[in-house]
Amino acid sequence: MDATYLTTDELASRIHYDARTIRTQLKDAVLMEGIHYIRPFGGRKLLFLWEAIQRDIGKFSVGRVPRASGGHSRRETLSIPMANGGIAHG
């Protein structure tokens, strides 16, 4: 299986995020070790698997819209992560 391995800086340029944001907020929150990235030879360096990230990049932006009755509707909405750690709902 051919895979495209990217460093944190290379991934940052592809998805237009700061490399520090990837390391501190996305890694282990939405990018999972063994699925989206590996640590070659058990070291500290991270290599991201581009194909897995491309496949899953939109999965975490879809959320549920709360209803006035306190439940959740089946309608899905877009949630955009913000630089300060918040989420913009659209």
Digit-by-digit pLDDT tens for the chain (90 residues) are: 689 999 999 999 999 999 999 999 999 988 999 999 999 998 999 999 999 999 988 776 555 444 444 555 545 567 777 777 777 776
Tell me the sheet residues that pair with 47.
Answer: 38
Tell me, what's the pLDDT at 75?
Answer: 54
* Residue pointed to by tokens 């194909």: 51
Question: Cβ of 27: how many Cβ atoms within 10 Å?
Answer: 17
53 CB burial (10 A radius; 0-12, 13-18, 19+) = buried
Domain spans of the chain? 1-57, 59-90
User: Residue 69 to residues 62, 66, 85: CA-CA distances in angstroms?
Assistant: 21, 8, 28
> Token pair for residue 89?
């709902």
